[in-house]
Structure 1
Amino acid sequence: MEPKRPRPRPPTSPTPAQPHSQAKVLDDDNLLCEIIVRLAFPTDLVRAALVSKRWLGHASDPAFLRRFRKLHPLRPLGFYIATTAGGTTAPRFVQMPSQHPELAAVCRRASFELDSFIWDCSNGSVITISEHVNVLMSRVYSPLFPSRSMPVVPELPPLDHVTPANYTFEKLLFREGDRSGLPYLWLLMQSIDHGYTVHVYMLQGGVWSKHTSATTEFSYLPSEPKPLLIDNKIYMAGALSRESIVLAHNTRCVAAILRGILVVDLKDSSFFTIQLPEGVEFSL
C-alpha cells in the first residue's frame, strides 16, 4: 500500500497587517503633537482633546497653544460698512465670501447688528460710541458672544495742560490674545511745539491709571497714525522729513514723506525709529 499523501491545506485568508506605522506615530508624543498642531481650526483642536487624557494634555499645553495660534492666526469673518437708513447711519456687517463651513457656522451663531457708531474693531470686539445725556459713551461689544453685556469704557481723567496742544489723537488698544472683552490700553498722543508726547493709560479694576509717558522730537505724524500694539511696543508710521513737491502748473507744496516707523517701548518709556527700506515710502 502506498502511503497516504498529506492533503494540501486550503489557503487561508491573509492576516491583516498590524498598523505598526500608525501605532508608531500615535505612541510618539513629538509626532502626535506635530499632527495635532496642524489642525485647521480651534474646533478641530477641541475634538482632538476629547480623544483621550493624553491628547487633552497635549492640546491644553500652553506652549502648544502658543504655537497653534502662531500657525493659525485669526481669520476675518467680515467687515462693517456705514449705510444710511431712515436718516441715520447704521453699520452693516458684510460676511467674507466663500467662508469655510466652520467659519460660516460661527457667523450664524453671532449677532453683528449694531445701532451705534463704530470707533474701532480688534480681536473680535467692536468699540461703539453713542451719545447719552450729552455725553459720549464708549462700549465694547463682542458679536461672537451676543449674550454678554456691553461693558462701558470708563472715561479718562482730564489732563492738565500748561501749553495748549496743537494736535491730539486718542485710540483704544487691545493686547493681542486678550479675551476679556475690555480695552487694555488707551493711547493719548499730543503735539506741542515740535515734539510729540505720548501718554499710555492702563485699565485695571475698572479704573484708568497712567502706565507711561514719553516725549520725542519727530518731524511729522499723520492725523490718523493707525497705531498697532504688539507685545509691549506701539508702532506708528511717521515721516523723518518734509519735502517740497511740484504739482501741476508749477504749484509747489510741502508734503510729508513717510519714511520711518515710530516705536513706543512701554517697558522703558522710550522712543526709537525703524527706517523703511530704500525705495519704500508713503506720501500724504
Structure 2
Amino acid sequence: MGRTERKRSGPAAAVPAAVASVLGNDVLLAEILLRLDLPTWLVRAALVSRRWFRGASDPAFLRHFRALHPPRVLALHANAVGFGRGETRCLPVPQPPGLAAAAPSRRCAARNSATAATAACCLLNNGRDEPIPQPPRSNPGSLLRDKRGTCEGSLLRLLENDADSTSCLFLNLRYNDEELAAEFSLLQSGVWGVARSTVTELPQRIFDTMVAHKLLVGRKFYMTTALGYILGLDLVTASFFTVQLPADIWNSTSFRLSRPQQSGLYLIDAKGFQLQVCRGDGMGQWALVDTISVPKVCGHLNVRRWVPDDAQTAPVSVLAAGENAEFVFLELVASGIVCCIQLSNRAVERVGVGLRMTEDFIRPLTMVWPPVFPVLN
C-alpha cells in the first residue's frame, strides 16, 4: 500500500517542479506571454508575480508583442458625407469578449465644432484626457490673391513624441482652385505660440483639397493631392515642400499615408485587387515592403460581388490606415463591405456595409499603447 502511494506521489510531486522550471525561465515565460493576443490579458498576467511583471513590462518584450499583436481598433470616429454638418458617430468594430466592454457605444454625442470633434478623437486615440485651451483665431485667407470662392478647414493634432504630453498643433487652411494658405500655432506648456503663416500654389479642385488625407509626422504636416505628389508643410521653417510619389501610383488618388514609429512615411495603395505598402523617407525615395491579395485574405467574408458594374471604378478603396502601417480599412466597392485588415498577421474583420465615407472624415480609435501596468509597491 505504501509502495503504491509512493508511486502516485512521485509524478504528482514532479508536476510543480516541472511548472516552476518552465515559468521560472524568463525566455520560456516570454514565449508564453507572447501568445496572449490582447494587451488586457498581458496586464492581468503581470499581476501574477514580480517576475511576470518584469517580463510583461519589459520594453524589448513589448516591442515584440506589438509586432505580433498590433493595438486593436475599437471603433471608427466618423463624420461622413450625409451625416450632417458637424455631426459625428462612433462605429464600433467587432471585438472579442475580453474587449467588448471597452468598445464605444453605437452612437457618440454630436459635436457642434469639427475642431472639437477632432481634438476629442485625437485625445481618445492616445489615451490622454488633458483639457486643451481654446486655439487662437486666425485668418489665412488674407494670404490668397483671390479671396472669392474659397473654403476653410481647421485641424487640431497632438504632437507625438514630445516632452510635453499636451503639445498640439492647430492648423487653419484656406484654399481655392489655385492656392492653399496655412496658418498654424503650437501649444506647449499650456500656452499657444505665435501664429505663423505661409501660402503655396495648388492648382486642383476645391473638393480634392477638402477630402485629401492629412497626416502629422513629427514637425512635418503632409497632405495628399491629385497632382502626382504629396504636399508637405515644415512647421519649423513655416514653408511648403513636395514629395514625389512612386512612379506606379502617380495617377492614383486612393492611396493613404501612415505614420511610422521612426521618421519617414508609409504609403498604402490599392491597384485593382492588390494592396501594396511602400515605405518612404518623407522626401521622395520609396521602397515596396509588402503586397496583399485582397480576395485571398477576405475570402471568409462571403463577398457576393467583387467587380463594380462600372468598369472604370476601382474594386477596392483604401479608407484609412493605422500608425506604422499596422492595419488598414478597405471598402470592397461592388458589395459596399468595409473591412479592417491587420497587415502583420493578415487577420480580417468586417466592420460594416455601405458607410460611404471619405477618408478625411474617418479616424480609427485604437487601444492605448503601451499598456498601463500597475505600480509595484
Q: Do both share a fold (TM > 0.5)?
A: yes
Structure 2: any 5+ residue segments left out of the alignment? 255-377
Deviation at 1:238, TM superposition (A): 1.0
Distance in 2, matches of 1:73 and 1:65, equals 11
* Cα gap change, 1:174 to 1:152, in 2 (>3 Å): closer
Counterparts in 2 of 1:114-193, with a 5 A limit?
Answer: 114-117=109-112, 119=114, 125-126=120-121, 151=131, 153-159=133-139, 161=142, 166=147, 167=150, 168-175=152-159, 184-191=168-175
Q: Work out which of the residue numbers 215, 239, 257 in structure 1 matches 2:226.
A: 239
Matched, 1:278 2:248: yes
Deviation at 1:34, TM superposition (A): 4.5
Q: Work out which of the residue numbers 68, 72, 75 in structure 1 matches 2:73.
A: 75
Look up the SS of the partner of 2:210 in the other structure.
coil
CA RMSD of aligned residues (A): 4.8
2:335 is matched with none
Matched, 1:44 2:63: no
Look up the SS of the partner of 1:117 in the other structure.
coil
1:261 is matched with 230
Matched, 1:100 2:96: yes
- Structure with more of its chain in strand, by fraction: 1
Which is higher, the Rg of structure 1 or of structure 2? 1
TM-score, scaled relative to structure 2 = 0.47
Instruction: Work out whether residues 171 and 187 of structure 1, in 8 Å CA contact, stay in contact via their aligned partners in 2.
Output: yes
Look up the SS of the partner of 1:76 in the other structure.
strand
Look up the SS of the partner of 2:109 in the other structure.
coil
1:135 is matched with none
Which letter maps to 1:119?
A: A
Distance in 1, matches of 2:66 and 2:159, equals 15
Deviations, residues 4-37 of structure 1 (Å, cap 9, x unaligned): xxxxx87963632557875555344344334434
* Cα gap change, 1:273 to 1:219, in 2 (>3 Å): farther
Distance in 2, matches of 1:81 and 1:215, equals 27
1:13 is matched with 7
Look up the SS of the partner of 1:102 in the other structure.
coil
Deviations, residues 152-205 of structure 1 (Å, cap 9, x unaligned): 650313348465565443212234589x99672112234589654433322224
Instruction: Work out whether residues 138 and 183 of structure 2, in 8 Å CA contact, stay in contact via their aligned partners in 1.
Output: no
1:57 is matched with 54
Quote the sequence identity (%): 31
Instruction: Work out whether residues 181 and 197 of structure 2, in 8 Å CA contact, stay in contact via their aligned partners in 1.
Output: yes
Q: Work out which of the residue numbers 223, 239, 247 in structure 1 matches 2:210.
A: 223
* Cα gap change, 1:182 to 1:115, in 2 (>3 Å): farther
Deviation at 1:72, TM superposition (A): 1.7
Instruction: Work out whether residues 234 and 264 of structure 1, in 8 Å CA contact, stay in contact via their aligned partners in 2.
Output: yes
Name whichever of 50-59 and 73-82 sits farther off: 73-82
Distance in 1, matches of 2:216 and 2:86, equals 29
Distance in 1, matches of 2:212 and 2:179, equals 15
Greater RCO structure (CA 8 Å; 6+ sep)? 2
TM-score, scaled relative to structure 1 = 0.58
Name whichever of 268-277 and 51-60 sits farther off: 268-277
Instruction: Work out whether residues 229 and 250 of structure 2, in 8 Å CA contact, stay in contact via their aligned partners in 1.
Output: no
Name whichever of 199-208 and 62-71 sits farther off: 62-71
Deviation at 1:75, TM superposition (A): 0.9
* Cα gap change, 1:60 to 1:79, in 2 (>3 Å): same
Deviation at 1:237, TM superposition (A): 0.8
Look up the SS of the partner of 1:200 in the other structure.
strand
Distance in 2, matches of 1:34 and 1:269, equals 48
Which letter maps to 2:244?
A: I
Deviation at 1:44, TM superposition (A): 1.1
Distance in 1, matches of 2:29 and 2:159, equals 31
* Cα gap change, 1:122 to 1:100, in 2 (>3 Å): farther
1:26 is matched with 23
Instruction: Work out whether residues 138 and 172 of structure 2, in 8 Å CA contact, stay in contact via their aligned partners in 1.
Output: no
Distance in 2, matches of 1:115 and 1:193, equals 31
- Structure with more of its chain in helix, by fraction: 2
Structure 1: any 5+ residue segments left out of the alignment? 1-8, 128-139, 241-258
Q: Work out which of the residue numbers 197, 206, 209 in structure 1 matches 2:193.
A: 209
Instruction: Work out whether residues 173 and 229 of structure 1, in 8 Å CA contact, stay in contact via their aligned partners in 2.
Output: yes
Deviation at 1:233, TM superposition (A): 3.3
Aligned residues: 236
Instruction: Work out whether residues 118 and 126 of structure 1, in 8 Å CA contact, stay in contact via their aligned partners in 2.
Output: no
